[in-house]
Structure 1
Amino acid sequence: MLSLNTLKIGAFLGLAAIAPTIAASESSSCRCLPGDGCWPSVSTWKAFNQSVDGRLVATVPLATPCHVPSYDEKKCVALKEGWLLPEEHYQSSSSFMAPFFTNGTCDPYHPVSKPCTLGNFVKYAVNVSSPVHVAKTLRFATKHNIRFIIRNTGHDYNGKSTGAGALSVWTHHLKDIEFKNWKDEHYTGKVAKLGAGVQGIEAYEAARKLGLRMVGGECPTVGIAGGYSQGGGHSSLASKHGLGADQVLEWEVIDGTGQFLTANRTHNSDIYWALTGGGGGTYGVVWSMTSKAHQDSHVSGLNLTFTTDGISDETFYKAVELYNTHLPSYVDHGIMSLNFLTNASFSLSPMTAPGISLKELKDLTLPFRDGLKKLGIKYEMQAEEFSNYLDQFNAQTPLVEIGVAQYGSWLLPRSIVESPKSRHELTKAARNVLSYGATFTTVGVKVTEEVTGDVYNAVNPAWRGAIAHVLMSTPWEFNKPDKMRENRKLMTDVLVPSLSNLSPESGAYLNEADFDQPNFQKAFYGKNYDKLRAIKAKYDPHHLFYGLTAVGSDEWTVSEDGRMCRVSPSN
């Protein structure tokens, strides 16, 4: 893997070699790309680099050692071994984890003879260490009409952390963690102020040392303050404490004009509301997030699996329906129940039960397990009680690979599983999805006001009546672009509608959804969209912040060569 220092050393060696690869009409309505006459000169970039204390990094694609003329067999083998794990990517200033958005430009699986090109990678990143670096980068991008990107770890299913010809701020190294007391009319208790680059596992480990636990993603390397909490953020602790966004009490953010703002429910409350569930990379560059830190206690966890071996398909789907029958009783006890379903297997992996003893958890699941026995299904179960959340997380949370799938989702209303008729329709929908070789993942949660308490945020209202976030995925295959495009169409036209047609009034979790979702404004943001758009206009007057399916993104178009242009006037 290329180190940050290696990248920085070579950052300006190639500046003079920028070639006019794009021949297109230049217009203020389109972002400037390398090769355009409006692209800054080498001397201008050098001056900018000096202004940000030499922290500008020119992109060298991570997989460069796997291709001519820089082929290095040893390095390439190492890259292939780690390519499907997040750790390979988040130490890079430019690599990202959604293979669809690389457009096949540079990965370890392409022929060695195929040279790497930048394609959809950012052109430069600023490894920011102060808000001044962010403000100067924003002003430079505004002055030169360059596409701007916010990047932390590169975790993003929908390609928001990259963009052709873009200049990005890289917040990954903002790792400050401070625990303190908080008291206002809405919350009294412990909180953690997290730098924008703090990842889930870093927050969990710091909290455990103080007898606390924090809400974060099931993937331990996701940045908590980024798109995770800004987009909602489901969690193994969601049924106990609420979504990631429900924890946030305050943001520090640099807006589109370069102003450093503190935002909470009483000060700059509009951007506080928008940042807290209204989507990442949209309203400003988050510098820090202050969120609730909860008292830790014992946590029980349970894994249960069975397959179709020795049973009919009808019996298998009766078991699936039986699980959905009991799901309300699980989430009502503060349990997050993670279910992976294929056309040949069923897996609870895991059920996470904070504050519940092992005996209580086994008692809660006994009716389901008795039902499986009556159906003649043999299952394997592993259940254990832990003294704290992190131990349970480390022991039972499944490994999350990246770059292995394409996704679509829908939020399943509780009413669907409470009615025998609609529950049966859900089973038929799942069966249809699985018939295409897809995976049907159910994140069973309860995040109503009863769980979250007094919160004020822009979380998609569909979450509040949902019993599960259903994530559908099809496998990713490198070097098969036509097949992958077919799978994209399958997701949009068949798989997601199989579920959304059951509850068209619901919506989807914007962080894990189909980026071709029709009417994404309603599906991802619900009734909040127009208010969010007005807040964006206030804090982003130069229209710098863009991400696919983000608020305001429908006012732009991005062509296959990466050119980004306005398609409608600003509101």
Structure 2
Amino acid sequence: MSDANCWPSLSVWQNFNESVHGRLIPVQPSVAFCSGNPPNDDLCNNALTEWTNSKWRSDQVGSMQNHNWENTSCSDHLGNVTCTQGSVPRLAVNATTVEHVQATVRFSSAENLRLVIKTTGHDYLGRSTAPDSLLLWLHYMKSMTLIEQYISCTGENVANAIRLGAGVQWGEVYAWLSTYNLIAIGGASITVGAIGGFLQGGGHGPLTRWKGMAADQVLEFDVVTADGQRRTVNACENKDLFWALRGGGGGSFAVVLSAVLRTFPSPSIVSALYTVSALNEDRYARFIHDFIRFIPILADVGYAGYFYMTDTSISIALFVPNGNFTVATAIIDKLIKNNTDLQFSTNSTHLFPSFYDYFALIMASSNLAGGNVLLGSRLIPEEIVRDQPDRVAEALFQARGLSKTQSILIGHLVAGGEIAKISINNSVNPAWRSSLLHMINAQTWDDGTTVNDQNMIASRLRVQVEILDTVAGGAQSSCYLNEADPNEPNWKQKFFGTLANYNRLASIKKELDPNGLFICRNCVGSDDWSTDLNCPKRSSANRVDVTMFLVFLMKCFYTF
């Protein structure tokens, strides 16, 4: 192809690259460092060493936290480093300013490109990656500002609000706020993005029982909408969008540049850690029944936390913000004393002076990534946990993880409490307001597992979720949209609580983004598109393949 023939497309990309100050970059999968000819041994060895490091993964433009969403031939275990691109975008804009974001949004719209948005790659539904797309990468928009006296648009005076940029991660927020003895309501993983899909999907975490969902804390957003306009979004301006962004899901309505959130004085933390094993399934089942009967008692004194069930073992990490150490530990001791015949490999209680002290020592290290995983989840109503604990216990026993199938059942005591009491008008799935437990069945598999076997694994996960459904409300059950099964049937109702909730979100999206620039899998408005999200169902106009432009650039010897 001659320069003259490829020049018009090349000039378009050159002009765009100039508009984003040269920040258009090629994207490669995680282990593409090892696929060169010859490979770069230093980069390759570093990639293999850091393969399960969540922070390293969040720093790589082409990496997802879970390798299955890259969907390439690359593998750190098989020694197969002839990488295909898979689901990884071809090109990205490493955006660091508002102008970079606006230029990318306008360019993608004008050229009819598939656009995806990513900050860290923490996405269990693969929403922040797509083949042959242009990636808007917000990872390095890292501003954090403390506003000692924030006056909201409604006149509320809020002490110590914070404005967080698009790329800030919760570990960074917690460490920064600890210097002020403050805390924000965030996630359990240090590398989760603070204001991206986590926040926009509702956001649960260790302190949500104490103060409400992360989305409940938002005072204002600064966004770029699909028309490339920058807008302030709060209770007075763009009110419908304000409602939608607080729970309606990330990647759907606008690019969030920053958000203003409430903070709180950091609580002290009473911590209780236990790892319990039984010699047989019958004895294990009896303990699970005791434990579930005890959960309402723990909840009533302010406990929150997590538990992990596999085979005949359970690991329990519970904590009470601003709890009385003597009272809190005495209550949980009753549960332990009733089961002294079990094996305890961990049995400890401790008082931490601040949340950050607790988080840094107990939670921050639980941050592995790089594996292949599917999740299926359900929110368990508080009424059922309190009134029918034996039914709940039996369902959890049946749905527990098994080593032989590489699965684990993860319990989250993160609902109830203030989540149930807060009456904030936002789009968080209303099932959160009436639930006590959020249960996840996590299914993993090894690299090299055949497609047929992966399909069998996905089917097995559906069976496990159906067991949870028996105590989650059956046909009316709900789940957390950020930790859900990507193959979830009836996802609109399950993710968003009610079809009325979904339909209102869809109406807002249609008004703000009529051409569907912000589209992702099982997100608001995605049902108007083909399965691969490249073809609108009511039009013959398809997304333009970025690969075509990349070929032009390569043939014209253009590098970024």
Q: Is the pair's TM-score, using the shorter chain for normalization, greater than 0.5?
A: yes
Letter in 2 for 1:324: I
Deviation of the 1:63 alpha carbon: 1.1
| Contact kept in structure 1, 2:270 and 2:319, CA below 8 Å | yes
Structure 1 pair 412/450, CA: closer, same or farther in 2 (3 Å)?
closer
What are the residue-to-residue correspondences of 1:464-475 with 2, within 5 Å? 464-475=433-444
| Contact kept in structure 2, 1:233 and 1:243, CA below 8 Å | yes
What are the residue-to-residue correspondences of 1:538-557 with 2, within 5 Å? 538-557=511-530
Q: Is 1:510 aligned to residue 476 of structure 2?
A: no
**For residue 374 of structure 2, what is the aligned residue in structure 1?**
406
Gaps of 5+ in 2: 541-560
What are the residue-to-residue correspondences of 1:243-392 with 2, within 5 Å? 243-308=213-278, 311-348=279-316, 350-373=317-340, 376=342, 378=344, 380-392=346-358
Structure 1 pair 265/382, CA: closer, same or farther in 2 (3 Å)?
same
| Contact kept in structure 1, 2:268 and 2:321, CA below 8 Å | yes
TM-score, normalised on structure 2? 0.89
The CA distance in 2 between the partners of 1:534 and 1:52, in whole Å, is 32
**For residue 169 of structure 2, what is the aligned residue in structure 1?**
199
Aligned with 2:197 (options 221, 227, 230): 227
**For residue 547 of structure 2, what is the aligned residue in structure 1?**
none
Deviation of the 1:432 alpha carbon: 4.0
Deviation of the 1:57 alpha carbon: 1.0
Letter in 2 for 1:386: F
The CA distance in 2 between the partners of 1:364 and 1:552, in whole Å, is 48
The CA distance in 1 between the partners of 2:38 and 2:98, in whole Å, is 36
**SS of the residue 1:314 aligns to:** helix
Structure 1 pair 498/340, CA: closer, same or farther in 2 (3 Å)?
same
| Contact kept in structure 2, 1:126 and 1:137, CA below 8 Å | yes
Gaps of 5+ in 1: 1-15, 18-36
Structure 1 pair 261/230, CA: closer, same or farther in 2 (3 Å)?
same
| Contact kept in structure 2, 1:406 and 1:476, CA below 8 Å | no
Deviation of the 1:170 alpha carbon: 1.1
The size of the alignment, in residue pairs, is 526
| Contact kept in structure 2, 1:173 and 1:197, CA below 8 Å | yes
Aligned with 1:535 (options 503, 508, 515): 508
Structure 1 pair 185/313, CA: closer, same or farther in 2 (3 Å)?
farther
The CA distance in 1 between the partners of 2:22 and 2:285, in whole Å, is 59
Aligned with 1:484 (options 440, 454, 458): 454
| Contact kept in structure 1, 2:420 and 2:432, CA below 8 Å | no
What are the residue-to-residue correspondences of 1:5-404 with 2, within 5 Å? 41-112=9-80, 114-180=81-147, 181-183=149-151, 184=154, 188-308=158-278, 311-348=279-316, 350-373=317-340, 376=342, 378=344, 380-397=346-363, 399-404=366-371
Deviation of the 1:261 alpha carbon: 0.9
**For residue 459 of structure 1, what is the aligned residue in structure 2?**
428
Structure 1 pair 543/412, CA: closer, same or farther in 2 (3 Å)?
same
Q: Spell out, residue by residue over 1:18-55, the C-alpha distance to the aligned partner (whole angstroms, 9 max, x if none).
A: xxxxxxxxxxxxxxxxxxx9998223211110111111
**SS of the residue 2:338 aligns to:** helix
Letter in 2 for 1:557: S
**SS of the residue 2:412 aligns to:** strand
Deviation of the 1:90 alpha carbon: 1.3
The CA distance in 1 between the partners of 2:8 and 2:481, in whole Å, is 35
Letter in 2 for 1:278: G
Q: Spell out, residue by residue over 1:294-323, the C-alpha distance to the aligned partner (whole angstroms, 9 max, x if none).
A: 011311211111112xx3311111111211
The CA distance in 2 between the partners of 1:173 and 1:68, in whole Å, is 27
The CA distance in 2 between the partners of 1:111 and 1:51, in whole Å, is 40
Deviation of the 1:217 alpha carbon: 0.8
Deviation of the 1:537 alpha carbon: 0.9
| Contact kept in structure 1, 2:325 and 2:351, CA below 8 Å | yes
Q: Spell out, residue by residue over 1:440-486, the C-alpha distance to the aligned partner (whole angstroms, 9 max, x if none).
A: 10001234557663422110011111111101011221111332222
Deviation of the 1:512 alpha carbon: 0.5
Q: Spell out, residue by residue over 1:72-96, the C-alpha distance to the aligned partner (whole angstroms, 9 max, x if none).
A: 3443232122111212211122211
**SS of the residue 1:434 aligns to:** coil
Letter in 1 for 2:482: N
Structure 1 pair 476/206, CA: closer, same or farther in 2 (3 Å)?
same
Letter in 2 for 1:50: E
After superposing the two structures, state which structure 1 stretch, 246-255 or 321-330, moved more. 321-330
The CA distance in 2 between the partners of 1:196 and 1:279, in whole Å, is 15
Aligned with 1:523 (options 488, 494, 498): 494
| Contact kept in structure 2, 1:448 and 1:465, CA below 8 Å | no
**For residue 13 of structure 1, what is the aligned residue in structure 2?**
none
| Contact kept in structure 1, 2:276 and 2:342, CA below 8 Å | no
**For residue 497 of structure 1, what is the aligned residue in structure 2?**
466
**SS of the residue 2:213 aligns to:** coil
| Contact kept in structure 2, 1:154 and 1:161, CA below 8 Å | yes
Please give the root-mean-square deviation of Cα atoms over the aligned residues, in Å: 2.4
Deviation of the 1:263 alpha carbon: 0.8
| Contact kept in structure 2, 1:98 and 1:158, CA below 8 Å | no
**For residue 442 of structure 1, what is the aligned residue in structure 2?**
411
| Contact kept in structure 1, 2:116 and 2:136, CA below 8 Å | yes
**SS of the residue 1:514 aligns to:** coil
**For residue 557 of structure 2, what is the aligned residue in structure 1?**
none
After superposing the two structures, state which structure 1 stretch, 405-414 or 433-442, moved more. 433-442
Letter in 2 for 1:520: W
Structure 1 pair 372/134, CA: closer, same or farther in 2 (3 Å)?
same
**SS of the residue 1:84 aligns to:** coil
After superposing the two structures, state which structure 1 stretch, 296-305 or 70-79, moved more. 70-79
Identical columns (%): 29
Structure 1 pair 134/345, CA: closer, same or farther in 2 (3 Å)?
same
Structure 1 pair 205/318, CA: closer, same or farther in 2 (3 Å)?
same
| Contact kept in structure 2, 1:335 and 1:445, CA below 8 Å | no
Q: Spell out, residue by residue over 1:114-171, the C-alpha distance to the aligned partner (whole angstroms, 9 max, x if none).
A: 5222221111111112222111111111111110011101111111111111112111
Letter in 1 for 2:69: F
Deviation of the 1:240 alpha carbon: 0.5
| Contact kept in structure 1, 2:120 and 2:192, CA below 8 Å | yes
Structure 1 pair 466/382, CA: closer, same or farther in 2 (3 Å)?
same
Deviation of the 1:264 alpha carbon: 1.0
Letter in 1 for 2:492: Q
Letter in 1 for 2:424: V
Letter in 2 for 1:387: P
After superposing the two structures, state which structure 1 stretch, 187-196 or 151-160, moved more. 187-196
**For residue 22 of structure 1, what is the aligned residue in structure 2?**
none
| Contact kept in structure 2, 1:414 and 1:467, CA below 8 Å | yes
The CA distance in 2 between the partners of 1:129 and 1:176, in whole Å, is 10
TM-score, normalised on structure 1? 0.87
Deviation of the 1:68 alpha carbon: 4.7
